Structure 1
Amino acid sequence: MKVLLATRNPGKLAELRRMLADARVEVLGLADVPEYPEAPETGATFADNALAKARDAAAATGLPSVADDSGLAVDALNGMPGVLSARWSGRHGDDVANLELLLGQLGDVPDERRGAAFVCAAALVVPDGPEIVVHGEWPGRIVRAPRGTGGFGYDPIFVPDGEERTSAELSPQEKDAASHRGRAMRALLPHLHALT
């Protein structure tokens, strides 16, 4: 069976493919299907955005489609950047600018108040079938300077609870096992297995 992962983010696509490698499905990315119009991410929640992306993909391709929306919720910023994580600096997908802006905003925040969590909502939409949304959360804290070269986005400044390394210093396997996206995708796996 084929499943479409509705993302253009190469880092996210690589992560999702690793996580779904044992799901007995052929995982396609958006580059593997004809282009279709994609609605902008205007949802108020991660779940709204994930569901909208998966619905668009399933309607356009006729394939069961998985999409996720995820981001960083920082305690000292009242949960922001949240759904705006990818465009926090005003330019979508500018990881360096987003990271630098966030560090600047937290410059005067003491270490004990730098709690944060990566949050993910993952949606599975089956044409003429069920729509399922699951969630994953990865608590931790924000450090003062980037460390590590793995991952993407805010990974170099996020230290998960119980770790001293940033998520950018973890191996892909360590990150997949613990991350918000890994938790959400594992919650989605039984629903994918049910399709095969």
Structure 2
Amino acid sequence: MLQKRIIVASGNTHKIEEIKSILKGLPVEVLSKNEVGLKELEVVEDRETLEENAIKKAKEISEKTEGIVLADDTGLFVDKLNGEPGIYSARYAGEDATYLENNKKLLKELEDTKLEQRTAEFRTVIAIVLEDKSIKTLTGICKGRIALEPKGDKGFGYDPLFIVDGYDKTFAQLGEDIKNKISHRARALEELRKELEDILKDE
């Protein structure tokens, strides 16, 4: 079976390694956009949904290179806040906001809300543009609640605030090993592996 080239619409080495480890054993070569000469290409995420942003990123890279292209977008959706921060999760407290500033803003928005009413879910959408330019999207969801205060020192982003259903600990308390098995990203990547296994089987 011929090896397939998979280009990830990211220059984040951590993300690339994670995808490589999930796809281990498949006849694929995983490359970052930087490795195929597209380091300077920054796609503006200006769409209304995670799906649309992920598709836009994958399509723009796909136009400039050969192979299967993957892109993902992730958001935290809090029920009490009508789904906010959602697609603006990374820049909730402003365009160049730090993780800490975003977390502070989220806690302020939920100031007088009891723990049981702080239900939320993390969502990751992966868009795949195949060699024939057809598009598929896959979604991974992890449900939980927003803590009353930050807990734990592992992880990043909203990890210190997100209490995972069934664990009663935040992602930042659980640590990377457990998070990488149960997170929204892990679930989306598992779906990706199944999808690619099917695509490669049909070759």
So what's the TM-score if we normalise by structure 1? 0.89
Separation in 1, partners of 2:30, 2:102: 30
Describe the shift of the 1:23–1:83 C-alpha distance in structure 2 as closer, same or farther (beyond 3 A). Answer: farther
Is 1:166 matched with 2:170? yes
Structure 2 match to 1:7:
10
2:84 counterpart letter in structure 1: M
Separation in 2, partners of 1:15, 1:123: 16
Greater CA drift, 132-141 or 54-63: 54-63
Give the unaligned 5+ runs of structure 2. none
Greater CA drift, 163-172 or 1-10: 1-10
Describe the shift of the 1:51–1:74 C-alpha distance in structure 2 as closer, same or farther (beyond 3 A). Answer: same
Greater CA drift, 185-194 or 72-81: 185-194
State how 1:40-189 maps to structure 2 within 5 Å. Answer: 40-92=44-96, 94-189=98-193
Secondary structure of 1:156 counterpart: coil
Describe the shift of the 1:23–1:149 C-alpha distance in structure 2 as closer, same or farther (beyond 3 A). Answer: farther
1:93: Cα distance to partner?
Answer: 6.1
Q: Deviations over 1:26-64 (max 9, x none)?
A: 222233221253331111111111111111122122221
More helix by share: 1
Describe the shift of the 1:192–1:170 C-alpha distance in structure 2 as closer, same or farther (beyond 3 A). Answer: same
Structure 1 match to 2:200:
195
Give the unaligned 5+ runs of structure 1. none
Separation in 1, partners of 2:27, 2:97: 31
Structure 2 match to 1:25:
28
2:32 counterpart letter in structure 1: G
Higher relative contact order structure (alpha carbons within 8 Å, sequence separation ≥ 6): 1
Aligned length: 196
Greater CA drift, 28-37 or 38-47: 28-37
CA contact (8 A) 2:16 2:30 kept: no
